[in-house]
Amino acid sequence: MIPRYGRRFRQAKLPALNMLAALAVTGVAGAAPANAIPAEPSGSHPATPVTVAGKATQPASGERRMNTGAERRTNDWAEEKLRGMTLEQKVGQLFVTWVNGQRADEAHPKNKEDFGVDTPAQVVRKYHLGGVIYFNNESRDNIDSPKQIAELSNGLQKAATGAGARVPLTVATDQEGGTITRIEAPATELPGAMALGAGRGAAQANQSARISGHELRAMGINQNFAPDADVNSNPLNPIIGVRSFSSDPQLAGQMVDAQVRGYQDSAEPTETTSAAAKHFPGHGDADTDSHTGLPQIDRTAEQWRQLDKPPFQAAVDAGVENIMSAHIKFPKLDPSGEPATLSRPILTGLLREELGYNGVVSTDSLSMEGVREMHPDAEIPVLALKAGVDQLVMPVNLDVAKNSVLKAVRSGELTEQRIDKSVLRLLKLKAKRGVVAKPFADVDAVDEKVGNEQNLADAQRIADRTTTVLRNDENALPLEEKPGSVLVTGWEDTSRGVPVPENLAKHIGDRVPNTKALTTGAEPSDERINQAVSAAKGVDTVVAVVGQSADDPAQHKLIDRLQATGKRVITVVAEVPYDAGYLNSAKTMLASYGYNAPTLEAATKVIFGEASPQGKLPVEVPDGNNPDQVRFPFGHGLSW
């Protein structure tokens, strides 16, 4: 997402700040540490209207902006806390890292390998960490159930508030919705950004963020690295795609505004999360995945202001508390060739000065190759701080990263005042978001708050607005009569291990019991295609799934072969809608922009006539073989 060794300040004992003394662990889930900042009394300051779909509306019950008194108490606490911290504690506050395991005090062998200690709690104490981030992949699996997540969060907060500077953690994850969902069912799954863009409802985008933010906070997660503010202007972008709301800067900005307010302002601070607009200055035109290389964006500065800047400006104007940097080169914004994460002209000159942003700046993961291509790991944190970063996320080697910052301070390469500036921003963020007042989750309330019936129903209503019908040449949709048998076949997202046809078949099977699934994989072989064609001949209707097919002509061949059977074939473009530009033979085609449960249910409702399609393309879809020609224009979408 560092300087000369300064003296250690003793804890100031100013009379006006006695109530904001060092935090003490209570050990009671949901309780505030002793002498923490008191919560602002309900009704003590007026609610602030939220702009949704261009209209000023009254905020949801409990929504608040900090008044002058609350802001003063936050600033006083943060400044006093800073004065009582050692240099090592301050530097620790700058870092966010992964931890291994699902229990704070349970030993995990990878913690020894990564950090030299056994448990996640020991990682927090060893490094005086400012934050942790949760994942659900094989190598860093922190997630089993909502209650388990809450217990893990509480255990880590107990470690943070019980030692060292006694400052609670930012507990983060990437819960964007759609394909980037770290915490799946039984938590509420929600449509992704491009699906929301297709739905054109800022109110629904706001509600989606509100549901997600409230559930995350119930599990002890107080910082969400979302929404994605990138304008996806490159159809071949390998890493953003459906994570972006739109290729239109104004539509993307409207959705970003709504989601920032949904995450941050939809209830009291202790019930919501910080939002993070990413990836500044804009990753939408990239043709390289910054996880594996360093993309270069060749737009002019004026083009950047017209295309990439508006959603980030919308986030700033909405009061976003966090902006994440991108590991991209943008020569017209900074001719040095440094990635934006390490660029002072971009992070300070543009973000701080031109956009007027005063909140926390985080790096994207420092384990990604995009930021590591030009510098060794020991230099990257120092360069990032010089550029204007506050929060250093997931360095490859935390020992190396932290020691490099300490060495830079002690050598005078960076001043301790520069460290103080970032630490103060982070402390204020924690206080403002209610993490100081209420660091612990209420484990007993998790089941009531996470994945409840109301949230699930609202998520489905949001998803029902998003399905986009691209072609209906043969008037096959909606199905006037339920077919006697259905085959669901096609693409599987092997990168995430999601058998999309099998999942879609479950939804269709609720309507047509004689439904079977045949997954052909991400790159179907001729043998697999032949099997699908043979199976298609024995059913009334075929539903064929396509995903990420730009570089996979075998998927296009599968659709051609299925169409040639003469059967009724309904093609579901289940990921980026750009795939539709390659499917010349498909006569009946819809875009779902994702494949989680509410999204697939929404597509199924459209197929069976249970809902009218409302989605409109939030991007322009070019012809796959002739990119200069538009196959489906922005705003296209059939309805009935």
| Catalytic residue ranges | 291, 364
Name the residue with tokens 């006083």.
76
Q: Is 13 exposed, middle or buried (0-12, 13-18, 19+ CB in 10 A)?
A: exposed
What are the helix and strand counts (H, E) for the chain? 21, 20
Q: How far apart are CA 189 and CA 54, in angstroms?
A: 27
Q: How far apart are CA 605 and CA 384, in angstroms?
A: 48
Instruction: Say if residues 258 and 295 touch (Cβ distance below 8 Å).
Output: no
90 residue type, one letter: K
Helix H or strand E segment including 471: strand 468-472
Q: How far apart are CA 589 and CA 421, in angstroms?
A: 53
Question: In the 8-state DSSP scheme, what is residue 491?
Answer: -
Structure tokens at 141: 């699996």
Name every residue whose Cβ is closer than 8 Å to that of residue 55 and which is 6 or more positions away in sequence. Answer: none
Q: Are strands 55-57 and 50-52 parallel, antiparallel or unpaired?
A: antiparallel
Q: Is 570 helix (H, G, I), strand (E, B) or coil?
A: strand
Instruction: Say if residues 579 and 550 touch (Cβ distance below 8 Å).
Output: yes
Of 316, 315, 355, the C-alpha closest to 333 is: 355
Q: How far apart are CA 51 and CA 54, in angstroms?
A: 6
